[in-house]
């Protein structure tokens, strides 16, 4: 496809942005659909979750709070750092933290509809 004028380019950009928005909405619905196995949803999140937004505020994940895990003390995440949820799960797995129920944590992450957040406190 050769685009040789601005109107045609703007039309393609508009189509792409609509597709991207529709895909994000679809993914968020898919990730929250508990009739689909957590394993399948999590594999998809690992594959394409990066397309989801990064929240600009703190993400409260009950499973981490219940286990008294702190963003700085347990993960080394300084204030203003962008925290990606895949990295959080990976760190817990690598540290072999058996107190955290990873299935509960993954469900809570998928419920946020985001790929991560900016740690701002």
Per-position pLDDT tens, the chain of length 121: 676 789 988 999 999 999 999 999 999 999 999 999 999 999 999 999 999 989 877 778 899 888 888 888 888 888 888 999 999 999 999 988 778 999 999 999 999 999 999 887 6
Give 86's contacts (C-beta < 8 A, 6+ positions apart).
45, 46, 49, 115
Q: Is residue 75 part of a domain?
A: yes
Q: Is residue 80 part of a domain?
A: yes
Give the model's pLDDT for residue 68.
87
Q: Domain range holding 69? A: 6-118
Indicate the number of domains in the chain.
1
Give the model's pLDDT for residue 8.
87
Q: Is residue 52 part of a domain?
A: yes
Q: Is residue 1 part of a domain?
A: no
Q: Is residue 11 part of a domain?
A: yes
Give the model's pLDDT for residue 1.
65
């Amino acid at each position: 496809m050769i685009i040789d004028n601005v109107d045609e380019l703007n039309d393609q950009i508009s189509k792409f942005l609509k597709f991207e928005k529709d895909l994000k909405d679809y993914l968020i619905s898919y990730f929250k659909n508990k009739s689909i196995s957590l394993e399948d949803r999590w594999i998809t999140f690992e594959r394409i979750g990066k397309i989801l937004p990064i929240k600009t505020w703190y993400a409260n994940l009950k499973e981490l709070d219940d286990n008294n895990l702190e963003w700085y003390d347990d993960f080394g995440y300084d204030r203003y750092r962008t925290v990606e949820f895949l990295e959080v799960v990976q760190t817990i797995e690598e540290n072999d933290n058996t107190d955290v129920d990873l299935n509960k944590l993954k469900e809570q992450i998928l419920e946020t509809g985001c790929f991560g957040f900016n740690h701002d406190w």
